Every structure is written in structure tokens, then in C-alpha cells.
Amino acid sequence: MTQPVVLWFRRDLRLADQQALAAAVVSGAPVIPVYILDDESPKHRKMGEASRWWLHHSLVSLDADLQVLGSRLILRRGKSDAVLSRLVEETGAAAIHCIRHYEPYWRNAEKAVAKALPDGCDLKCHDGNYLLPPGSVTTGSGGQYKIYTAFMRALWQHMPPAQPLPSPAKLALPVYWPASDALSDWDLLPVKPDWSGGMQQMWTPGEHGAKARLDAFTDKAKSYDERRNLPSVDGSSFLSPHLHFGEISAATCWHATMSAGGSVDVFLKELVWRDYAQNVICQFPEYGSKNAREGFDKMPWRDLADPAVKADYTAWTKGQTGYPIVDAGMRQLWATGWMHNRVRMIAASFLIKHLLIDWRAGEQWFWDTLVDADYGSNAVNWQWTAGTGVDSNMFVRIMAPLSQSEKFDASGYIRQWVPELSDLREPYIHDPEEHGARPKGYPRKLIGHKQARERALAAFAVTKG
Ligand code: FAD
């Protein structure tokens, strides 16, 4: 009897351009696909609630696609090394194939799995979730890049990425199927209250949903550069959760966009940001919790244990700051699990600089509420905004939310997400309080821009001292 191999799915929930699946198929062995819900490996970052909602639907979709091939997805829960070594004992598997992941907790889990497997069974890790394997783009002297622009130029020399692999036409099936958990027992979906209505409307998790998003985007990719910064129009690709869960590969997105023709470099450079973030967390595994610039360890952030500060933080999370663009973004995030990139920058900057609250509190909120919450991308962008990162905006560059709102023509976006303001015309809608047009039921600003700026700069001076 041919020994089977295990295909260990994680954030790579697709059949096309899935390098671990392709290697398993080439081996000729029967394939046992498995997904493990691991909240237990040491220091594992438990997935946020919005991500868990996405995961549920993505696993349903993956299982359905495997069933078309006569296969199925085995579900298990627990510490990856313990679960996989038990599965190998049960099935007599000769190898485990997986796509390599670069979050520090996944790297640790991979080491633990390799150590725990019985003799005769190897862990075979493949690359495939990024344009190039993180860590592989090096400087002339063999070092790692810290600055995005230099990294991007170096990576660009190796582009385009390899042509995507097709989905397999068939899979060799095992004689014996190991037992699987029932997905419904994992309680990944919210109940009482079920807050997922807006997410259900906006998203179709899974490989087919990803493909549909990409197809829709390639038609408008040429206008990406003009439209991506305008929150009132759908100018970006909406691929981030699909890319995060690996329902589509970055190489597939690259090639599809290139073949759409026209000037698409600006979009492709955004895909490079995703690779860059992984390169940063490879060098600084604690990037999600530690200032890269240590001077910021002395920053006198306002203390969240103080009820007044906590109230400001809560107002930010609920979109009740009195700054329409910030409130629209935070409400979009809560309703759909996604926020426009420009507005993410404005909302993050507002928390850090206007409210003087530690970026890590915001990073955690995004982690819990974004459907694309990604350890590397989230940490890199929060540290970029805070000025604490290896490559970052200077702290003293304080974004003015009200002028950003006008500059990027956010009135349609505000009307959509802050209905209390939907009757206001330009320019009142961007700053109703200033124009004496604040409707009842819409809050006053938590703090004025000038006062916030002065407080932030004074706090920053402490880090210099
Ligand atoms: P598009 O503009 O169509 O870009 C295409 C793809 O490129 C995206 O899907 C994404 O995979 C990648 N990309 C684009 N911009 C960035 C970027 N700045 N950094 C890394 N990758 C990028 N993105 C996440 O995927 N996960 C996160 O947890 C995340 N947290 C963020 C936190 C803050 C404070 C900020 C300012 C940005 C964050 N981003 C994060 C980056 C960016 O906002 C989203 O990737 C983008 O808005 C997703 O929308 P889209 O797919 O339409 O992007």
C-alpha cells in the first residue's frame, strides 16, 4: 500500500498555484489535506474575531473544491506539532507538505513540527505565498533591506515572478480517511450578536471569491493610480483578505494585472509592500509589539488605565471622534472588516498623534476587526504611521484629518458611513463643528487639531531628551 502524504494548509487556502499541493501531487502519493486550528502553540497569535469569520467560510469553500476532486479537508484543533505527529501515526504518512510562513509563531511551530515527527516522516516546506521568498532579496553585501524603496528596487530586478501553477486535475486518494472535527464545533462565527451582516454582503471568502475580485480589478487596473487614494470610489483591488488567507497567490495577481495592459506599476509596487512587510518581520520578529526605534520606549503615551483616556479610545473604536473622515473609516471597519488604505493612515495617525495613545492599542484593534489582519502588514503599517519603524513617516509630520478629507474628496464616503452627516454639503461635511453645522447626535471633536498637535510634539520632545 502506498504511504500517503499530509498536505498542511494554513494561510494558503487555495488549489491553484499551491506549491505544497503541487509537490504532494508530483510525489504520486495519496494526499490527506488537513487544516489545524492552532490557538495553542507557544506565543501563537490567536486570530482576531473578523479573521475567524473569514476562516470559517474559506474552509467551507476549500473543502467544497477538494470534494470536486473526490477529496476532503480534515479539520483538527490543537498545537500543530502534537496534532500532526498524531496524524502521522494514525495514517502512516511518509511526509508533510506545507507552504512556509514567516510569522514568528509559525516559524517556531514549523521547527516544533519538524522535531516532533516520527522517523521516516519529514516536513517539506515550500515557498509560494510571496513574490519571492522573504529573506531572499539581499543587499550587495548579503544583508537584509530595511528600507522599502531599496528593497523594492532590488526585488524588481527579479520580476516577473514564476508563472502560476494550475490547480491539479486529480488527486490520489488515501484508502483510509482519518476522523475530522466538525467545522461548526469550532464556533468561528459570531452569534448573539451576529455582527457579520455587513461582511456577508461585501465578501465571498474562498478561492472563487478571490478569482472574481481579481477579474473585476483587472478591468480597472489602469485607473488604479488615479483612484486608489479616493475613499469615495472603489479604486483599489479589495484583494487583501484573499491574499492574506492565501486564496490567491501574489504571482497570480501580478501576471493577471500585467496582462490587462497599461501602466500598472503603482499597483505592483503595492504588492511589493506586502513582501517588504514579511522581510521586516523576518528581521524583527517582535515588530508587532516592540518599537523598532528604541527612543520611543520613553514616549509618554496617555495611560489607557485612566478612564478619560479609555473613553477617547472607545470613541475612536466606535467612530465617535467628531472627525468625520476618522469616524467613517472606523465605522466602515466595524461593518465590513475592511477600511480604505488612505483612511487607515488617517485613522491610525489620529489615534497615535491626536489622542496620544500607543500604536500597539490600535494595532490590536485592527488585528481583531480586520478581515485582512496580517501580522507583518499590520505591524509594518502601524510602525510606519507612528514613526517608530525601521522605515517610517517622521512622528513630527502630523496628518491633519480635516484637510486630508477635503484633499481626497471624502464627502461621498462620509455620507455612506456617517449617516448623521448625510445632509451636509461641501465643505461643511468635512468639519461640521467648525462651520457651526454639527447635527444633534454627532459628537464634538475629542480634541482640536492645533491643541492635539502641540500635545503630540511636546510628548515627542521627551523621547529626544
Ligand atoms: P490594493 O491597493 O488593491 O493593493 C493590492 C494589495 O497590495 C493589497 O491587497 C495588499 O495585499 C498589498 N498592499 C497594499 N498596500 C499595502 C501596504 N501598505 N502594506 C502591505 N501590503 C499592502 N494590509 C493588510 O493586508 N493587512 C493588514 O493587517 C493591514 N494593516 C494596515 C494597518 C494600517 C495602520 C495601515 C495604514 C495599512 C494597513 N494595511 C494592511 C495596508 C493596506 O491598507 C491594505 O493592504 C489595503 O488597504 C487593502 O486593500 P486592497 O486589497 O484594495 O489594496
How distant, in Å, are the alpha carbons of 183, 235, 339, 400 from that of 230? 39, 7, 12, 16
* 414 shares a domain with 391: yes
Whether 280 has a pLDDT exceeding 70, the answer reads: yes
- Res 361: pLDDT: 98
**Pocket lining: 237 vs ligand 1, CB cutoff 6 Å:** yes
User: Could you tell me if 12 and 129 are in contact, meaning their C-beta atoms sit under 8 angstroms apart?
Assistant: yes
Best residue among 230, 270, 378, 392 to mutate for probing ligand 1's pocket (most ligand atoms within 8 Å of CB) is: 270
Euclidean distance between CA atoms 329 and 342, whole angstroms? 9
Give me the mean pLDDT over the 320-348 stretch: 98
Strands 95-99 and 74-77 turn out to be: unpaired
Nearest CA to ligand 1 atom 4: 270
Beta bridge partner(s), residue 138: 144
**Pocket lining: 271 vs ligand 1, CB cutoff 6 Å:** yes
Ligand 1 atom closest to the Cα of residue 382 is 34
Is 227 a member of any domain? yes
**Pocket lining: 385 vs ligand 1, CB cutoff 6 Å:** yes
**Pocket lining: 373 vs ligand 1, CB cutoff 6 Å:** yes
Beta bridge partner(s), residue 259: none
Q: Please say whether the dihedral angle defined by the alpha carbons of residues 240, 243, 245 and 248, taken in this order, is positive or negative.
A: positive
Nearest CA to ligand 1 atom 29: 378
Domain termination residue (choose one: 236, 259, 284): 284
Domain termination residue (choose one: 284, 318, 349): 284
SS3 state of residue 131: coil
Interval between CA 51 and ligand 1 midpoint (Å):
15
Is 193 a member of any domain? no
Best residue among 229, 340, 381 to mutate for probing ligand 1's pocket (most ligand atoms within 8 Å of CB) is: 381
More confident residue, 83 or 261: 83
Give me the mean pLDDT over the 143-168 stretch: 97
**Pocket lining: 374 vs ligand 1, CB cutoff 6 Å:** yes
Is 200 a member of any domain? no
Pick left, alpha or beta for residue 120 (phi over 0 → left; psi -120 to 50 → alpha; otherwise beta): left
Domain termination residue (choose one: 229, 256, 284): 284
Q: What is the dihedral of CA 175, 179, 184, 189, to 10 degrees?
A: -90
User: Of the candidates 231, 245, 218, 265, which has an alpha carbon nearest to the alpha carbon of residue 10?
Assistant: 245
* 99 shares a domain with 241: no
DSSP state of 428: G
CATH label of the domain that carries residue 254: 1.25.40.80
Nearest CA to ligand 1 atom 43: 341
Is 175 a member of any domain? no
* 147 shares a domain with 68: no
Is 90 a member of any domain? yes
- Res 464: pLDDT: 81
Give me the mean pLDDT over the 410-420 stretch: 97
Interval between CA 289 and ligand 1 midpoint (Å):
19
The number of distinct structural domains making up the chain is 3
User: Of the candidates 370, 330, 67, 325, which has an alpha carbon nearest to the alpha carbon of residue 203?
Assistant: 370
**Pocket lining: 384 vs ligand 1, CB cutoff 6 Å:** no
CATH label of the domain that carries residue 320: 1.10.579.10
Whether 180 has a pLDDT exceeding 90, the answer reads: yes
* 442 shares a domain with 308: yes
Ligand 1 atom closest to the Cα of residue 380 is 19
Whether 424 has a pLDDT exceeding 80, the answer reads: yes
DSSP state of 138: B
- Res 260: pLDDT: 84
Is 246 a member of any domain? yes
* 458 shares a domain with 365: yes
* Start-to-end CA span in the chain (Å): 71
Give me the mean pLDDT over the 291-308 stretch: 97
DSSP state of 301: P
- Res 43: pLDDT: 84
* 143 shares a domain with 104: no
* 141 shares a domain with 82: no
Say what percent of the chain tops pLDDT 90.
96
- Res 1: pLDDT: 64
* 99 shares a domain with 213: no
Is 39 a member of any domain? yes
Mean pLDDT score of the chain, rounded to an integer?
97
Nearest CA to ligand 1 atom 8: 240
Ligand 1 atom closest to the Cα of residue 348 is 34
Q: How many C-beta atoms surround the C-beta of residue 201 within 10 A?
A: 9
**Pocket lining: 228 vs ligand 1, CB cutoff 6 Å:** yes
Interval between CA 12 and ligand 1 midpoint (Å):
18
Interval between CA 340 and ligand 1 midpoint (Å):
9
* 390 shares a domain with 337: yes
Residue 465 exposure: Cα atoms within 13 Å on the Cβ side? 9
Whether 219 has a pLDDT exceeding 90, the answer reads: no
Q: How many C-beta atoms surround the C-beta of residue 446 within 10 A?
A: 18
**Pocket lining: 344 vs ligand 1, CB cutoff 6 Å:** yes
Nearest CA to ligand 1 atom 15: 270
Euclidean distance between CA atoms 301 and 311, whole angstroms? 15
**Pocket lining: 240 vs ligand 1, CB cutoff 6 Å:** yes
Ligand 1 atom closest to the Cα of residue 243 is 11
* Confidence tier at 262 by pLDDT (50, 70, 90): confident
Give the three cell numbers for residue 375: 501580522
Beta bridge partner(s), residue 97: 7, 124
34 phi, psi to nearest 5 deg: -140, 145
* 435 shares a domain with 347: yes
**Pocket lining: 361 vs ligand 1, CB cutoff 6 Å:** no
SS3 state of residue 32: strand
Residue 310 exposure: Cα atoms within 13 Å on the Cβ side? 4
Ligand 1 atom closest to the Cα of residue 242 is 9
* 402 shares a domain with 447: yes
Residue 154's domain spans which residues?
A: 130-163+205-284
**Pocket lining: 370 vs ligand 1, CB cutoff 6 Å:** yes
Say what percent of the chain tops pLDDT 70.
100
User: Could you tell me if 168 and 65 are in contact, meaning their C-beta atoms sit under 8 angstroms apart?
Assistant: no
Give the three cell numbers for residue 321: 471622534
Is 181 a member of any domain? no
Q: What's the chain's Rg over C-alpha atoms?
A: 23
CA angle 173/176/182 to nearest 5° reads 95
Nearest CA to ligand 1 atom 32: 378
- Res 261: pLDDT: 78
* 299 shares a domain with 272: no
**Pocket lining: 438 vs ligand 1, CB cutoff 6 Å:** no
